[in-house]
């Protein structure tokens, strides 16, 4: 993403600030086990001290693949399970890709032992490993190492937002935004403490198993058994193949991972990569002066010709070359893969994926196959003619240099009639790169200042905006609203906008009537801004069991309100809440307490948004009786008239059953008020007369505080006020001689 490419990132990756980068998959240069072996060899030549690791997805058959990887001389194999995945992964990938790491680890260990390859590689288990129990299970199945990512991130404050790719991490972990990074409160000590406690848990499990050394755990599947707590369906599964001890397949094999070094025979090779590595170690990134070393070769160069070449070296090859020519630059397929600098001239036609993810190298070639310059842009480019003087000069100079160094007849023909052939060239100009160039030009212009020669160290920008008319200083309310609609930012709303706090009517006014305490008009006016504060968490705790008992789909209707789609927001709300008009008001809003934004900022005003949705629905006439089309012959008695009782009655009525209560009369629901079950009607009679009885009586006594002075006069339960308020709202006269008063 372009907002992730800051100046520091761009410098590191040899790119331009603000221009999006795509990390290409490594399979561009891997189409067979031989290709993988070549890549491993290239990397080992470039850095003999590095441990070459290959990551494989846990799936059926991964053991055979791991065996080939080990034969290709990889030193480390990661088996990644389906539970892992970065926050940037799509939900389809997170939920559906791969299999549990337990299956992959068991198969990989067994196949490697069977082929006597286990001692050559270290096997790592990866994918939501969090506890000491997970580590011990992975070791018993055959893992040597264990990858931790999610758990340490959570220890440092990660909230599992699943928005790592949007640069909006609210706790400052996965973001380049300086404002958000200030919110990061994680410390190395937090991770150290977690790992210490993890190790202590592992020691406890080892003590119970009677194991003294951790290496003795590896491959001991005889210490595993199926859990007794598994459900009946899980107990029907046959785990015998997974729990089979690999040493029973081939006894006496060394299974200590990495105890036998892979033999790369680097000392017998005098390839170019070894030369470049030694020069790089001695001279660093700066390399040598231009043309310090000139190499002229004839014949077939093979694979990875001039891969990872450093500066100051000039190589001329008369002949052909296989795949990976000039790979990295830190002709066959994948030429200049990930190149960062230098020049490459090819007389002839290159194969597929030429200059994949090129990031700074200048390349001239007479033709390419499919997918040339892939991953260099986001497929958002402008095709322009070659008309600018600077462009014409650049192309002509490159053609001239290309012809001089390769003897290209095509370049010679083009130069003879130049600039006429320029019309046959197309300039591919990415939009992001254009924007980045304009931004850099604007920054350079802003730095130009005109000093005031009066002895003071003050500078004034050359281009100051002048007010041409007094009317320009007057804000038009309508235009301001339109402007606000355009600039409302949902992605960064939680950073830009503050929580609305003035939601109540003035105390002096609301004490004199029985009306709402909320200032609905004021709340409604800024509702879209408040909805923009919702971060749409990948794991929304607000709708979890400890956030919303009803499981309201809060992020969805927050987003619909931001889009001004009130009708659909109502539909989403009514999916889980039968009576938001009163449950939304009396609810203490635990959803706001569970809101992830509350970790670093005041929570989203979820309660206000919910109440505004249902109020607007009543105003628009969207709430009306909806009797069921078909009724069953069954009768259900719902005892209790609180939110749970009313919700149960409403849900049963939707299904066509008949309740014996009388509130939703127009929908066919009947209420019987002031009926004391046990006195006015026997519980047995109630049971005999109905197909089902649902008890929704709630608490028999309000929550109380046993504190000194609780028994004094003038201290009431809130329910006492609620009863009086409801009677007044219904137009009834309050028959209490002295109703409770909050005035003292």
Check: CB of residue 358 under 8 Å from CB of residue 330: no
For the ranges 39-48, 195-204, 287-296, 382-391, the maximum mean pLDDT occurs at 195-204
pTM for this model (two decimals): 0.66
Helices 132-141, 101-114: inter-axial angle, 10-degree rounding:
30
Per mean pLDDT, which range of 261-265, 559-563, 593-597, 648-652 is the poorest? 648-652
- Name, in order, each residue with C-beta under 8 angstroms of 63's C-beta and a sequence gap of 6 or more: 107, 108, 110, 111, 112
How far from each other are the two terminal CA atoms of the chain, in whole angstroms?
A: 60
Cis peptide before 419 (omega within 30 of 0): yes
Structure-derived torsion over alpha carbons of residues 8, 13, 15, 20, reported in degrees to the nearest 10? -90
Q: List the structure tokens of 396.
A: 């002509």
**What is the model's pLDDT at position 337?**
63
Per mean pLDDT, which range of 560-564, 664-668, 736-740 is the poorest? 736-740
Residue in 166, 84, 150, 4 with CA at minimum distance from that of residue 537: 166
**What is the model's pLDDT at position 472?**
42
Percent of the chain with pLDDT over 90: 30
Per mean pLDDT, which range of 594-603, 694-703, 725-734 is the poorest? 725-734
Q: Average pLDDT in the 664-680 region?
A: 70
| 31-249 CATH choice from 3.30.413.10, 3.40.50.1860, 3.20.20.70, 3.40.50.720 | 3.20.20.70
Check: CB of residue 45 under 8 Å from CB of residue 266: yes
Mean of the per-residue pLDDT values for the chain? 80
Check: CB of residue 100 under 8 Å from CB of residue 87: no
Q: What is the tens place of the pLDDT at every residue in 377-423?
A: 555 777 888 888 999 999 999 999 999 988 899 999 999 999 899 99
pLDDT tier for residue 375 given thresholds of 50, 70 and 90: low
Beta-carbon-side half-sphere exposure of residue 600 (alpha carbons within 13 Å): 22
**What is the model's pLDDT at position 643?**
67
**What is the model's pLDDT at position 355?**
74
**What is the model's pLDDT at position 473?**
43
Checking if the pLDDT of 219 tops 50, the result is yes
Query: What's the CA gap between 430 and 616, in Å, rounded?
Result: 46
**What is the model's pLDDT at position 223?**
94
| 54, β-bridge pairs | 77
Residue in 490, 695, 738, 517 with CA at minimum distance from that of residue 604: 490
Check: CB of residue 116 under 8 Å from CB of residue 192: no
Residue in 358, 390, 387 with CA at minimum distance from that of residue 372: 358
Query: What's the CA gap between 199 and 202, in Å, rounded?
Result: 5
Q: What is the largest CA-CA distance in the chain?
A: 111
**Topology annotation, domain 268-431:** Pectate Lyase C-like (2.160.20)
DSSP state for residue 518 in the 8-state scheme: B
Checking if the pLDDT of 654 tops 80, the result is no
Percent of the chain with pLDDT over 70: 78
**What is the model's pLDDT at position 332?**
47
**What is the model's pLDDT at position 486?**
57
Q: How far is CA 27 from CA 87, 219, 323, in A?
A: 22, 31, 13
**What is the model's pLDDT at position 268?**
66
State how beta strands 459-461 and 658-659 pair: unpaired
DSSP per position, 55-75? EEE--TTHHHHHHHHHHTT-S
Helical H segments across 597-637, by residue range: 606-619
3-class state of residue 313 by DSSP: strand
**What is the model's pLDDT at position 269?**
61
pLDDT tier for residue 331 given thresholds of 50, 70 and 90: very low
Between 714 and 701, residue with greater pLDDT: 714
Per mean pLDDT, which range of 146-155, 304-313, 685-694 is the poorest? 304-313
Between 454 and 205, residue with greater pLDDT: 205
Q: List the structure tokens of 227.
A: 């859990």
- Name, in order, each residue with C-beta under 8 angstroms of 426's C-beta and a sequence gap of 6 or more: 383, 384, 385, 386
Per mean pLDDT, which range of 24-33, 332-341, 457-466 is the poorest? 457-466
For the ranges 310-324, 325-339, 549-563, the maximum mean pLDDT occurs at 549-563
**What is the model's pLDDT at position 411?**
92
Cβ burial of 165 (10 Å; 0-12, 13-18, 19+) is: middle
| 365, β-bridge pairs | 346
Checking if the pLDDT of 90 tops 50, the result is yes
Checking if the pLDDT of 69 tops 80, the result is yes
Question: Of how many residues is the chain composed?
Answer: 744
**What is the model's pLDDT at position 637?**
81
Per mean pLDDT, which range of 20-24, 462-466, 584-588, 694-698 is the poorest? 462-466
**What is the model's pLDDT at position 235?**
82
Query: What's the CA gap between 77 and 66, in Å, rounded?
Result: 7
Residue in 81, 41, 207, 218 with CA at minimum distance from that of residue 144: 218
Checking if the pLDDT of 628 tops 50, the result is yes
Beta-carbon-side half-sphere exposure of residue 377 (alpha carbons within 13 Å): 13
Cβ burial of 270 (10 Å; 0-12, 13-18, 19+) is: exposed
Cβ contacts of 729-735, under 8 Å, gap ≥ 24: 729/514
Q: Average pLDDT in the 219-230 region?
A: 88
Residue in 271, 294, 260, 303 with CA at minimum distance from that of residue 46: 271
Checking if the pLDDT of 374 tops 80, the result is no
**What is the model's pLDDT at position 559?**
93
Query: CB count, 10 Å around CB of 220?
Result: 17
Superfamily of domain 482-619: Alpha-helical ferredoxin (1.10.1060.10)
Backbone φ and ψ for 739, nearest 5 degrees, come out as -65, 150
**What is the model's pLDDT at position 457?**
44
Q: What is the tens place of the pLDDT at every residue in 538-552?
A: 788 898 888 898 889
Which residue, chain included where needed, has tokens 């009431």? 716
- Name, in order, each residue with C-beta under 8 angstroms of 477's C-beta and a sequence gap of 6 or more: none
pLDDT tier for residue 734 given thresholds of 50, 70 and 90: low
Query: What's the CA gap between 655 and 629, in Å, rounded?
Result: 9
Between 265 and 133, residue with greater pLDDT: 133
Query: What's the CA gap between 292 and 26, in Å, rounded?
Result: 33
Check: CB of residue 690 under 8 Å from CB of residue 635: yes
pLDDT tier for residue 101 given thresholds of 50, 70 and 90: very high
Q: What is the tens place of the pLDDT at every residue in 432-483?
A: 778 888 888 887 777 665 454 444 443 444 444 444 444 444 445 455 555 5
Residue in 158, 137, 193, 143 with CA at minimum distance from that of residue 86: 158
Q: What is the tens place of the pLDDT at every residue in 122-179?
A: 999 998 899 999 999 999 999 999 999 889 999 999 888 877 877 888 888 888 888 8
């Amino acid at each position: 993403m372009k907002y992730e490419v800051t100046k520091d990132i761009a410098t590191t990756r040899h790119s331009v600030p603000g221009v999006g980068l795509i990390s290409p998959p490594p399979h561009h240069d891997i189409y067979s086990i031989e290709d993988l072996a070549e890549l491993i060899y290239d990397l080992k030549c470039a850095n003999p001290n590095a441990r070459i690791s290959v990551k494989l997805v846990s799936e059926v058959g991964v053991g055979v693949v791991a065996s080939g990887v080990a034969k290709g001389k990889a030193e480390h194999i990661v088996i990644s399970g389906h539970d892992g995945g970065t926050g940037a992964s799509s939900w389809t990938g997170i939920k559906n890709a791969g299999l549990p790491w337990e299956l992959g680890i068991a198969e990989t260990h067994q196949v490697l032992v069977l082929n006597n390859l286990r001692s050559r590689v270290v096997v790592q288990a990866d994918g939501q490993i969090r506890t000491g129990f997970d580590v011990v299970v992975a070791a018993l199945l055959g893992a040597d190492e264990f990858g931790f990512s999610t758990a340490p991130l959570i220890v440092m404050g990660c909230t599992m937002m699943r928005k790592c790719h949007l640069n909006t991490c609210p706790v400052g972990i996965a973001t380049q935004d300086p404002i958000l990074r200030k919110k990061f409160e994680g410390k190395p000590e937090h991770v150290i403490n977690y790992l210490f406690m993890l190790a202590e848990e592992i020691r406890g499990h080892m003590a119970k198993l009677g194991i003294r050394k951790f290496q003795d755990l590896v491959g001991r599947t005889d210490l595993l058994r199926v859990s007794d707590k598994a459900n009946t369906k899980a107990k029907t599964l046959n785990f015998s193949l997974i729990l089979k001890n690999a040493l029973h397949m081939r006894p006496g094999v060394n299974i200590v991972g990495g105890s036998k070094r892979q033999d790369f025979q680097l000392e017998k090779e005098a390839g170019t990569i070894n030369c470049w590595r030694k020069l790089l170690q001695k001279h660093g990134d700066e390399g040598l002066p231009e043309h310090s070393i000139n190499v002229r070769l004839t014949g077939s160069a093979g694979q990875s010709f001039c891969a990872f070449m450093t500066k100051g070296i000039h190589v001329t090859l008369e002949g052909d070359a296989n795949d990976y020519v000039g790979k990295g630059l830190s002709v066959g397929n994948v030429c200049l893969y990930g190149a960062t600098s230098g020049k490459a001239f090819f007389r002839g036609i290159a194969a597929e994926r030429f200059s994949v993810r090129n990031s700074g190298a200048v390349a001239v070639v007479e033709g390419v196959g499919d997918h040339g310059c892939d991953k260099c842009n986001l497929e958002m480019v402008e095709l322009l003619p070659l008309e600018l003087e600077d462009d014409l000069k650049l192309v002509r100079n490159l053609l001239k240099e290309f012809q001089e160094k390769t003897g290209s007849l095509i370049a010679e023909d083009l130069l003879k009639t130049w600039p006429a052939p320029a019309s046959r060239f197309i300039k591919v100009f990415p939009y992001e790169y254009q924007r980045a160039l304009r931004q850099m030009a604007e920054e350079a212009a802003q730095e130009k200042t005109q000093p005031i020669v009066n002895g003071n160290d003050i500078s004034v920008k050359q281009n100051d905006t002048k007010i041409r008319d007094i009317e320009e200083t007057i804000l038009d309310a309508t235009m301001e609203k339109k402007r606000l609609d355009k600039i409302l930012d949902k992605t960064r709303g939680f950073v830009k906008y503050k929580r609305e706090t003035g939601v109540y009517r003035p105390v002096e006014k609301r004490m004199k009537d029985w009306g709402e305490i909320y200032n609905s008009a004021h709340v409604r006016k800024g509702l879209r801004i408040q909805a923009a504060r919702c971060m749409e968490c990948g794991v929304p705790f607000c709708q979890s069991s400890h956030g919303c008992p009803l499981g309201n789909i809060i992020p969805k209707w927050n987003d619909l309100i931001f889009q001004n789609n009130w009708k659909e927001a109502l539909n989403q709300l009514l999916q889980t809440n039968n009576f938001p008009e009163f449950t939304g008001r009396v609810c203490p809003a635990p959803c706001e307490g569970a809101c992830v934004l509350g970790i670093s900022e005041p929570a989203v005003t979820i309660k206000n948004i919910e109440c505004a949705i249902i109020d607007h629905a009543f105003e628009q006439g969207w709430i009306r009786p909806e009797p069921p089309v078909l009724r069953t012959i069954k009768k259900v008695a719902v005892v209790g008239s609180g939110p749970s009782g009313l919700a149960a009655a409403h849900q049963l009525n939707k299904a066509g059953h008949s309740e014996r209560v009388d509130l939703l009369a127009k929908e066919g629901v009947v209420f019987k008020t002031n009926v004391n079950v046990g006195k006015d009607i026997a519980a047995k009679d109630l049971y005999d007369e109905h197909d089902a009885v649902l008890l929704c009586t709630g608490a028999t006594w309000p929550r109380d505080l046993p504190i000194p002075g609780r028994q004094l006069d003038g201290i009431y339960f809130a329910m006492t006020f609620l009863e009086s308020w409801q009677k007044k709202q219904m137009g009834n006269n309050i028959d209490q001689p002295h109703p409770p008063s909050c005035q003292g």
